[in-house]
A and B are shown apart, each in its own frame.
Chain A
Amino acid sequence: MGGFPGCLWRHRLASSGEQVEWGAQLSTLAKKVLGVGSAVVVLGVLIGLYVASWATSQPNTIVASAAPPPSGGTQLTLETVAAIGPKYEPSHPDWVSYLVRKDNKWIHSTIYSVPANSVVHVTLYQYDGDSGLRNPFLSQVQGTVGETETVDGKTINSIPPEEASHTFVIPQLGVFVPLPGVPEEAKNQCEFAPCEGAAHRTITFSFRTGKKGRYRWQCFVPCAAGYIDGFGGPMQTLGYMDGFINVV
């Protein structure tokens, strides 16, 4: 007796010619159902593989370079731009984004690798205008060495919340760094990356990494233009306004 219902029915009803004919019809139907079912399963597997491939694809990991002496530790050089531009991301050229510098080239990635129990020095070129923080509490610098950052050479421990353009925050490490925007009246504003030579703010800060692990980081400014609450699109896509710090 086969496992398929049609075969079962044919077996049990094989006592009259009429019933055999019905059983044969069911068997044909069973074949059709089996064919359609197999096709659905294959299609489902293909869709699943596509979704899994999409869901697990992520930017390359950029290893922080050694910081120049005498500071020690490692160096991350980042920039934020109002729009990533077609050169880096043809599919979303108008999305706000971070970039990272590696071997004198700007790379579109937000996954960085840094050593455990070390100091990471960050230099960040901020080319975007201000959007303002939804929660003004995050306008204070936290978790950096000295609990401060420098903005265009000036050491500060907080910024006016309405002047925030982005933040660099690693919640699990307690690192909260607000990034002030380029003033609206500034000339030579950058439209989209690459932004060298355009008006910008230069921000520096350092933080300690602690134990090994994978820590996510994100921007807390609702800076995703055109999305509900400013938190869709690039705020919800790895590689733009959030990423991982791999402490190794």
Chain B
Amino acid sequence: MAAETHPGTPEPNHARRFTALWVISSLIATPLVIFLLGPSLPPGNGSEQASGHVTDNTVLLAMATPVLLLVVIYLIYASIFFRQPKGGVLEGPAVRGDSRVQTAWVVITSVLVLSLAAYGTVRLLADNGAGSGSGPKPLTVPKGPKLPVQVIAQQWAFTYRYPTYGGVETTHLELPDNEMVELHVTSIDVIHSFWAYKLGVKADANPGVDNIAFVKPTHEQSFEVRCSELCGIWHGYMFDKGHVVSPAAFETWIHEQQTKFAPATKVLPPYSKTYSPEPTRRAE
């Protein structure tokens, strides 16, 4: 790297100047990212899991900020101080490699990536899957009582079954506030994915698979449920509105559903972790 020099003008120490610029920018930007941008990062604070995602996103962004600044500041610095003079085609000096730079690059990036991997693993385990589908046998299960709710996906709608309330099935998802919910996500046809963005929950819905995810809503709210796996022509319309209500309101609602859907409940198969509907004559 050689900047154009003028007779009598000493070449500045670019490495020192650039490092100073980068360190100062990082020291200013990183706290701003953590304290100003962090709280407004997605997916919000609809549940303990969603709040955890906000924390994780903040950590990731805070670690990425100095890296981003390193690249951006270098680009700007180089384009200002290492510009090619007008009217000439000059080749820069051959770069032969620098073991110090190479070593630093490998070590720093390795430390960054491995520490993020360790952080992610710890967070996943500590938060019981962090709202993601953890398969039929999750590695960690939250302690205490849990409300089991089965999410049944099909082309192109979700329905919800509450095994502890007589196995009633409903067209909308209603959850009690401040209670741990154990979602059992499955499909009765093709692959889908259950995504309650505001609650920080996302779990694949695969036929024949009981995909368990845990979520604990932290306040009363409405939230949207979407399918996030391309599943056919009406995939884009496979959405629904859910609600988190007070425990008392939930009890009232679920008993209303039990009464309303009594005729359907009578003909439903017994509650099961997965369903294998009989092939229909047409589909054979």
Q: Across the interface, do A224 and B171 meet the contact criterion of CB distance under 8 Å? A: no
Does A5 lie at the interface of the complex (its beta carbon under 8 Å from any beta carbon of B)? no
A220 touches B154 (CB 8 A): yes
Q: Are A136 and B269 in contact (CB under 8 A)?
A: yes
Q: Are A222 and B189 in contact (CB under 8 A)?
A: yes
Q: If A216-B234, A231-B190, A237-B233 touch, does A136 touch B268 (CB 8 Å cutoff)?
A: yes
| CB nearest to B156 among chain A residues | A218
Residues of A within 8 A of B267 (CB): 136, 139, 158, 160-161
Give the contacting residue for A131; candidates B89, B263, B281; CB below 8 A. Answer: B281
Interface presence of A142 (CB below 8 A): yes
Let me know if A230 and B169 touch, CB within 8 A: no
A157 pairs with B263, CB closer than 8 A: yes
Contacts of B41 in A (CB 8 A): none
Q: A100 vs B264: C-alpha distance in the bound complex, in angstroms?
A: 29
**A134–B280 CB distance below 8 A:** yes
- Given A160-B267, A218-B234, check contact A224 B283 (CB 8 Å): yes
Mark out the residues of chain B between 140 and 180 whose CB falls within 8 Å of any chain A CB in the assembled complex: 152, 154-157, 159, 169, 171
Per-residue CB contact flags for chain B residues 92-136 toward chain A (1 = under 8 Å, else 0) read: 000000000000000000000000000000000000000000000
User: With a CB–CB cut-off of 8 A, which chain A residues contact B263?
Assistant: 140, 157-158
Instruction: Report B-chain residues with C-beta under 8 Å of the C-beta of A131.
Output: 280-283
How far, in angstroms, from A148 to B101 measured CA to CA in the complex?
76
Assembly CA distance A235 to B232 (angstroms): 9
* Interface hits, B227-262 → A, CB 8 Å: 232-234, 237, 240, 261
Chain B residues whose CB sits within 8 angstroms of the CB of A224 once the complex forms? 282-283
- Measured between beta carbons, the chain A residues less than 8 angstroms from B281 are 131-132
| Interface flag for A79 (CB, 8 Å) | no
CB <8 Å contact, B233 and A140: no
Contact of A174 among B154, B171, B234, B269 (CB under 8 A): B171
The answer to the question of A229 belonging to the interface, with a C-beta cut-off of 8 Å to chain B, is yes
Q: Chain B binding site: helix, strand, loop or mixed by DSSP?
A: loop
Query: Are B283 and A216 closer than 8 Å at their CB atoms?
Result: no
Do A135 and B278 touch across chains, with their CB atoms under 8 A apart?
no
Cα A135 to Cα B269 in complex, Å, equals 9
Q: Is A242 an interface residue (CB 8 A)?
A: yes
**Within 8 Å of chain B (Cβ to Cβ): is A137?**
yes
A176 vs B152: C-alpha distance when bound (angstroms): 17
How does the 8 Å CB contact mask read for A156-191 relative to B, with 1 for contact and 0 for none?
011011000000010110101000000000000000
Docked-complex contact B261 and A140, CB < 8 angstroms: yes
Q: Could you tell me the distance between the alpha carbons of A160 and B152 in the complex, rounded to whole angstroms? A: 20
**Chain B residues with Cβ under 8 A from A4's Cβ?**
none
- B277 in the interface (beta carbon within 8 A): yes
Given the interface pairs A216-B234, A225-B283, the reply to whether A135 lies near B159 with Cβ below 8 Å is: yes
Asked whether any CB of chain B lies closer than 8 Å to the CB of A236, the reply is: yes
Alpha-carbon distance between A32 and B214 when the two chains are bound, in angstroms: 60
Quote the shortest CB–CB distance from A69 to chain B (angstroms).
32
Contact status A139-B154, CB under 8 Å: no
User: Does A111 touch B at the CB level, under 8 Å?
Assistant: no
State the Cβ distance, B258 to closest chain A Cβ, in Å: 13
**Which chain A residues border B232 with CB–CB below 8 Å?**
231, 235-236
A230 to B189 CA separation, bound complex (whole angstroms): 9
CA distance A229 to B233 in the complex (A): 14
A222 lies within 8 A of B280 (CB): yes
Collect the chain A residues with CB atoms within 8 Å of residue B171's CB. 142, 171, 174, 176
Contact A222 B264 (CB under 8 A): no
Closest-CB distance, A103 to chain B (whole angstroms): 29
Q: Known: A220-B154, A231-B155. Is A137-B283 also a contact (CB below 8 A)?
A: no
- For residue B67, CB closer than 8 A to chain A, the reply is no
CA distance A136 to B263 in the complex (A): 10
Pairwise interchain contact B268-A137, C-beta atoms closer than 8 A: yes
A–B pairs, 29, beta carbons within 8 Å: A131-B282, A131-B283, A134-B154, A134-B188, A134-B277, A135-B152, A136-B264, A137-B169, A139-B264, A139-B267, A140-B261, A140-B264, A160-B267, A169-B157, A171-B156, A171-B157, A171-B171, A171-B237, A172-B237, A218-B156, A220-B154, A223-B280, A224-B282, A227-B283, A231-B155, A235-B232, A236-B232, A242-B233, A242-B234
* A contact set with B: CB distance below 8 Å: 12, 96, 131-132, 134-140, 142, 157-158, 160-161, 169, 171-172, 174, 176, 216, 218, 220-225, 227-231, 235-238, 242
